Structure 1
Amino acid sequence: MTQNLEIQQSETDREVDGGETLIMRLAGRVRAVRKELGMPRRELSERSGVSPRYLAQLESGEGNISVLLLQRVASALNTRIEDLLSDTGDTTREARQIAQLYQNAGSETQGKVRRMLVVQNPHALRAQRVCLIGLRGAGKSTLGQKSAAALNIPFVELKSEIESRVGMPASEIMELYGQDGYRAMESEAIEAVVSAHDRLIMSVGGGIVAQPKTFSLLKTYFHTIWVRTSPAEHMARVRAQGDLRPMEGNPEAMDQLKALLAARSHLYETALAQVDTSNRPQQSSVNDVLTTIAKHRFIEQRGP
């Protein structure tokens, strides 16, 4: 009997100690958050509807506040009851400071922070970004523009992004900086696009797959779709765009195109999905792209 009484007394002592610890923790937390906000106790009283005297008792550890009153105090301090009661006050304060810094940062900085903090799995890193890859003439830009419009999201052509950042046409960039310089700009432009957008469709030049680092960066942050077609249609579409260079004075152009396609096919095949535009009307190919995106859940469908 005596042993049972001793056990019960020990448990009661622990409950009292635990209660006192909780009250003192709450007192310190309310006081710290209020001072951090630069809020006088009278202002907190006006916002919460709790008297200044009661608040003084609460902050000194003498008040035994009810849950309802504590909710009003927490709301007035723009925080949660859980944060006031938890034993991670310093962490909570630091988290609020970091959140404020993030909100005040530019979109590019916010993008870098998200990439650093995101759970390291491929799907999360790619967010809802889709990139169309493939040889010139496959229809990447047209399909990208129309698909993005259908989904009401931005469309970016990487070449145009580079031209905008540098302030000159791609042809002049190549002449001035060379192939290596242009490839470095591709990587920088990709990083800028990733920082600015979590949801978009982008198209890139056909040769980007031959740059291992740049292509790896692309596949890390984008769901990739290989837009493919036959060599004959590649050539016909390029010529339809007004570019006669592939054929002019070069009777072996078609053989070269076939060889280039064969050499790069194993790289294009690493894309997460494929859309074949051979002998397909333009709108049918757009529908194919949208169906592929929906099937693989690359981009969430949202209402108007």
Structure 2
Amino acid sequence: MNPSCNLFIIGPTGAGKTSIGRRLAAHYGLPFVDLDQEIEQHCGVDVSTVFEIEGEAGFRQRESALLDECSQRPGVLLATGAGVVLAEHNRAHLRERGYVVWLQTTIEQQLERLERDHRRPLLAVPNRHERLQAMAQIREPIYRELADLTVPGEHGSVAAASERCIALIDHHWQRPSHASSQQTA
């Protein structure tokens, strides 16, 4: 949605939604909300434990409820979980309530970035490459359809990637005038 006072970051696991999202939030003067962290805060346990106890279906229900709540806040930068786009009602919330930025990445980049990360329940499999490929086949068309702006994934630092995002967002995102005047007040 353009214009919007909210920025929503979508993309696959390991795309940099949280690390880049924090920098974008600081740049635009928006509160930063990480959906997975919100789930952990509300549940009092990490995402892996939620998956272990409630399974993916239980996790997705919690994720949807918190997405609904967080996406209604005005003037936020929300970093979503990679799979939040799987449910149509979640896509509707994202589409209707914010400007959606898709951070792309390759499977090779994901494997490199997530090499030492063992906290992600959907990647607790013998062949991560195969799992990431299967997830990409399902999710990439959804990301593409949902995104107001696509940021190509490139190697480099978080700082460099954030600068690329800012340049693209500045060129395409139309912030409502009341949001920018609130930032200067």
Q: How does 1:26-37 map to 2 (within 5 A)?
A: none
Say which of 263, 276, 279 aligns to 2:138: 263
- Seen in structure 2, the aligned counterparts of structure 1 residues 194 and 208 have a Cα distance that, compared at 3 Å, is closer
1:207 aligns with 2:80: no
The size of the alignment, in residue pairs, is 179
1:291 to 2:170 alignment: no
Partners of 2:142 and 2:95 lie apart in 1 by: 11
- Partner residue in 1 for 2:62: 185
Q: 5+ residue gaps in structure 1?
A: 1-121
Whether 2:71 is the aligned partner of 1:194: answer yes
- Equivalent residue for 1:144, pick from 21, 43, 49: 21
Contact 2:48–2:121 (8 Å) recurs in 1 = no
* Bigger helix fraction: 1
SS of match in other structure, 1:279: coil
Paired residues of 2:25 and 2:77 also in contact (CA < 8 A):
yes
Equivalent residue for 2:128, pick from 253, 261, 283: 253
- What amino acid does structure 1 have at the position aligned with 2:14? G
Instruction: Give the conservation status (yes or no) of the 8 Å contact 2:10–2:17.
Output: yes
Displacement, 1:169?
A: 2.1
Counterpart residue number, 1:217: 93
Identity %: 22
Q: Work out whether 1:279 is the aligned partner of 2:155.
A: yes
Give unmatched runs, 5+ long, in structure 2: none
Aligned mates of 1:296, 1:279 — CA distance in 2: 23
Structure-2 separation of matches of 1:246 and 1:163? 16
Change (3 A) 1:243 1:219: same
- For 2:28 and 2:166, locate their aligned partners in 1 and report how far apart those are by CA, in whole Å: 8
Shift of 1:266: 0.7
Distance in 2, Cα, partners of 1:134 & 1:162: 18
Q: Greater CA radius of gyration, 1 or 2? A: 1
**Structure 1 residue 248 displacement after superposition:** 8.1
1:179–1:255 CA distance, 2 compared to 1 (3 A): closer
Aligned equivalents of 2:108, 2:148: Cα separation in 1: 25
CA distance in 2, matches of 1:157, 1:245: 17
CA drift of 1:242 comes to: 5.8
Corresponding position of 1:164? 41
Counterparts of 1:214 and 1:264, CA distance in 2 = 13
Q: CA RMSD in A?
A: 2.6
C-alpha contact (below 8 Å) 2:9/2:100 kept by paired residues: yes
Matches of 2:50 and 2:120, distance apart in 1: 22
Deviations 1:135-174 (A, max 9, x none): 1111110000111112221111001112222333222222
Contact 1:137 1:238 in 2 (8 A): yes
Give 2:158's aligned amino acid. Answer: Q
Shift in alpha-carbon separation, 1:178–1:289, aligned structure 2, 3 A:
same
Measured in 2, the distance between the counterparts of 1:244 and 1:178 equals 13
- Aligned CA distance change for structure 1 residues 178 and 280 (closer, same or farther; 3 Å): same
Q: Indicate the structure whose relative CO is greater, using CA pairs within 8 Å and at least 6 residues apart.
A: 2
Shift of 1:176: 3.0
User: What corresponds to 1:52 in structure 2?
Assistant: none
Residues 119-149 of structure 1 show CA distances to partners (whole Å, capped at 9, x for unaligned) of xxx546xx31111111111111000011111
Aligned to 1:269, what secondary structure does the other structure show? helix
Aligned-partner Cα distance in 2 for 1:244–1:187: 18
